[in-house]
Amino acid sequence: MNPAPEIPGTVVTVGAAPLRPADVVAVARHDARVEIAPEALERVATARSLVEGLAGDAVPHYGISTGFGALATTFIAPERRLQLQASLIRSHAAGTGAEVEREVVRALMLLRLQTLATGHTGVRPVVVETYAAMLNSGITPIVREYGSLGCSGDLAPLSHVALAAMGEGRVRNATGEEVDAADALAAGGITPLVLREKEGLALINGTDGMLGMLLLAIHDLSLLLDTADVAAAMSVESQLGTDAVFAADLQALRPQAGQAASAANLRAVLADSPIVASHRDPAVCTRVQDAYSLRCSPQVHGAARDTVDHARLIASRELAAAVDNPVITDDGRVESNGNFHGAPVAYVLDFLAIAVADVASISERRTDRALDPARSHGLPPFLAHEVGVDSGLMIAQYAAAGIVSELKRLAVPASVDSIPSSAMQEDHVSMGWAAARKLRRAIDGLARVLAIEVLTGARALDLRAPLQPGPATGAVRGLVRDAGVGGPGPDRFLSPDMEAVAGLVRSGAVAQAAYSATAR
């Protein structure tokens, strides 16, 4: 199972070692406090002294004494450089659309803070300390959904954060109230930043938004894939399917790691099921094999698991990165580079969206089988109480089908698109931010489709009485009933039931109930 979330109150240290994915989740979702490692502040101060030396050089240095992007050849006189940095942030804080979720903004702030703390960006220690203080004060800059092309990093989203650190723009305080950034900083005892040479560029030239959303997605998908195995087990059991196809020796004939993990989950959740045992005898059940959506659940869920593992590998490399342009190298050079390009992150975000769509698709097919009397092996049409008068879960399946259809559209990759910008200086971009935004919507859809399958499975198990489900699936059914979701009977207002089970899925309660009842 996915590890439990970090307990609120955890302290995350930045700058001593690369952040762990759990650190990002702890700060983004659970308001863990942030502290800066002393050695990180020393590195930052050393790099800053180099930048200040170059600032007085007659030779132009990009981002220090020049303009930006297509204006990189324009030399900026020393007396105009403070204005240059402030103008950069104000002009680039050009997001539009709905507010981005608080957890995403906090994740991107933490990830940018980590890069600043590497000593490769050339900012002053006070900049690092200000970002940490904003996180610890619960100040969340208002970031808009549209504006990033994923190259040169997430410029617009990060600019909204930098603008707030300057005491400009709007933020939400720790209670969620929208206030002026200057007022929020004052309430937190934080002095607004006056940016100096290189600092404006260092605050916005990174892939932190898309990486933050990737890390949150990996965390969520790890839990949802455990839940998908539980939902599949409920469908197999309630539709009188067999667990024989999930045997370890059969799975080992195709040595895919994710498939083996999902099959092991299915075996554990179906163990000791009286319903499964009731039709093991070939004289009782003459079916040769189950439909693909039941039989191939480990293969599909397992492929998604392997995709998440690949994404986790890419994310771990990004967590060890210092993404900025130019960067201060270990031997003191200031060098331009292309590390801000979001392609590595964008590709796996798109890859995950494909996996999400397919896991939801096979889940919806299992739900549909339970509702069709021609395929459910003895269950009433749509699991209705009085067929013809009641519709049962008919329209719940419609909802799942509608979500799956949308997930297929969201699986179309964003990273294959590119629109040139900055007067053709930035002529190939990753669209990684867009890939991350659609993945977040897709993950929400997957949770809802799985919830509908769990809701369906719980009612179908009830309808198999007097046969009883196994300990694990029975625990999930009990959880659903304890949440106020009714079992078989006359039609009732269905939407609240669906929302209640979706909440159980997202919280991890469904997976926890099932696996706690197994021998694992």
Which positions are catalytic?
62
Q: Which of 255, 236, 286 shows the shortest CA–CA distance to 461? A: 236
CA 90 to chain centre: 29
Cis bond leading into 152, ω under 30°?
yes
Cis bond leading into 8, ω under 30°?
no
Structure tokens of 145?
């959904």
Q: Which residues contact 296 (CB under 8 A, 6 or more apart)?
A: 362
Structure tokens of 507?
């919280």
CA 12 to chain centre: 20
CA distance 423 to 293: 50
Structure tokens of 129?
């300390």
List 96's β-bridge partners, or say none: 146
Place of tokens 């959303």: 213
Instruction: Report the number of secondary-structure helices (H) and strands (E) in the chain.
Output: 20, 9
E strand segments, 10-72: 11-14, 33-36
Structure tokens of 149?
């092309």
Q: Which of 74, 376, 326, 104 shows the shortest CA–CA distance to 213? A: 104
482 SS3 class: helix
Exposed / middle / buried, residue 280 (Cβ in 10 Å: 0-12, 13-18, 19+): exposed
CA 116 to chain centre: 23
Q: Report the length, in residues, of the chain.
A: 520
Q: Which of 204, 122, 118, 209 shows the shortest CA–CA distance to 166? A: 204
519 SS3 class: coil
List 71's β-bridge partners, or say none: none
Q: Which of 236, 322, 461, 248 shows the shortest CA–CA distance to 43? A: 322
CA distance 426 to 374: 57
CA distance 461 to 316: 41
CA distance 120 to 519: 49
Exposed / middle / buried, residue 246 (Cβ in 10 Å: 0-12, 13-18, 19+): buried
Q: Contact at 8 Å (CB) between 402 and 360?
A: no
